């Protein structure tokens, strides 16, 4: 199962609308079930460095099929996934990456958002999911 280009574009647009609503500039990336980028936008004025972070958040969420914030909790010192962020050519283990599921609960991709606080990044990612 894979996300379609249309679904990915709808998710990006919904996330962008939320970013505009909260007056922040974001990089928004959507990957398919194989963690390949399908859709991406960098809003005017968004941080250049956040483009890579958005993609890595999306990939991290897909690689482990969980929110990146949850991985962050598990990757703290003395926790079971400590240092996991050094695997897979670099992962992001703070909020803003979320798996995308279809109506049957199958993971079809993931969204990654970066450019503001981690709380805003997560909220914008979740708003993107609302497009499905």
Gap between the Cα atoms of 24 and 3, Å rounded = 26
Query: What's the predicted TM-score (pTM) here?
Result: 0.94
Domain count, the chain: 1
Predicted confidence (pLDDT) per residue in 19-34, tens digit: 999 999 999 999 999 9
Domain enclosing residue 35, as ranges: 5-129
The pLDDT value recorded for residue 17 is 98
Name the burial class of residue 48, with classes exposed (0-12), middle (13-18) and buried (19+) by CB atoms within 10 angstroms of its CB: exposed
Q: Is the pLDDT of residue 59 over 90?
A: yes
CATH of the domain at 113: 3.30.450.150
Rounded to 5°, angle at Cα 61 from 89 and 82:
60
């Amino acid at each position: 199962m894979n996300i379609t280009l249309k679904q990915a574009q709808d998710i990006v647009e919904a996330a962008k609308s939320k970013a505009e609503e909260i007056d922040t500039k974001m990089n928004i990336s959507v990957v398919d079930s194989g963690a390949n980028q399908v859709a991406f936008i960098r809003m005017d004025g968004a941080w250049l460095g956040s483009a890579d972070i958005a993609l890595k958040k999306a990939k991290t969420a897909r690689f482990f099929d969980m929110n990146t914030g949850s991985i962050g909790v598990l990757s703290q010192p003395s926790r079971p996934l400590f240092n996991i962020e050094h695997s897979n050519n670099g992962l992001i283990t703070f909020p803003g990456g979320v798996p995308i599921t279809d109506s049957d609960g199958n993971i079809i991709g993931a969204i990654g958002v970066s450019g503001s606080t981690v709380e805003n990044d997560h909220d914008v990612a979740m708003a993107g999911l609302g497009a499905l």
